[in-house]
Amino acid sequence: MPSTTSATAATQSPQNSSGRLAARDLALIASMAALLVVLGIPGALYPFGQAVPITLQSMGVMLIGALLGWKRGALSVLLVLALAAIGFPFLAGGRGGLAVFVGPTSGFLLGWLLGAMVVGAMVQSAAKRLTTARIALAVIVGGIGVIHLCGIPVMMWRAGLSLNAALVADLVFIPGDLIKAVIATVVAAAVHRAMPTLLPSTWAGRASR
């Protein structure tokens, strides 16, 4: 006989059997997209006059992937980026419009999408035995590693920096990103413990210490 948790998960996440997004999934995607926008309200900090700002929105990307999984996480981030591209001031500092996507930050914005997918895929793959440590690994690899790997080459190109100069400039972001990763990990682990069916049902698991 299937467990209550499995039955509930199947009921709450029909996406997995039909391949379509259910109303619950759409609501989660929209809610997390709104969170990403809200995290941009405090604005952006440009340390030492750098072209790429420090914002809270990268923490939102970590959370979105860790909470929603790769597909819904990617759609949530893509929704914000698409709205920003058509002019909505949804990026930190009230930025928006196509110009943002050809500037020094554009690689990091692409990294948001790929990073959310990687975080989500890693969390989903470990979801049957999801631990705080596994969430932390996913957040660091996808939410920091992938984003920076996408951002550095474009920053070099658009800001005219050498590889060494770009790497040195990028180091400024690492301490803050590590703090964001810790916060995102703690929040995601707590949410998954409270809502073990939040991830798609075929991956559903319970976060533990």
Domain residue limits, the chain: 24-203
| pLDDT category of residue 44 using cuts at 50, 70 and 90 | low
Cα–Cα distances in angstroms (integers) from residue 26 to residues 13, 68, 106, 135, in the given order: 11, 11, 26, 23
Separation of CA 47 from chain center: 23
pTM: 0.83
The class (CATH top level) of 24-203 is: mainly alpha
49-105 per-position pLDDT tens digit: 555 566 899 999 999 999 999 999 999 999 999 999 999 999 988 889 999 999 888
Hey, is 95 helix, strand or coil?
A: strand
Q: Minimal CA–CA distance to 119: which of 104, 95, 137, 92?
A: 137
Model confidence band, residue 45 (pLDDT cutoffs 50, 70, 90): low
pLDDT at 1 over 90: no
Q: What is the rounded radius of gyration, in angstroms, for the C-alpha atoms of the chain?
A: 17
pLDDT of the residue at 49: 53
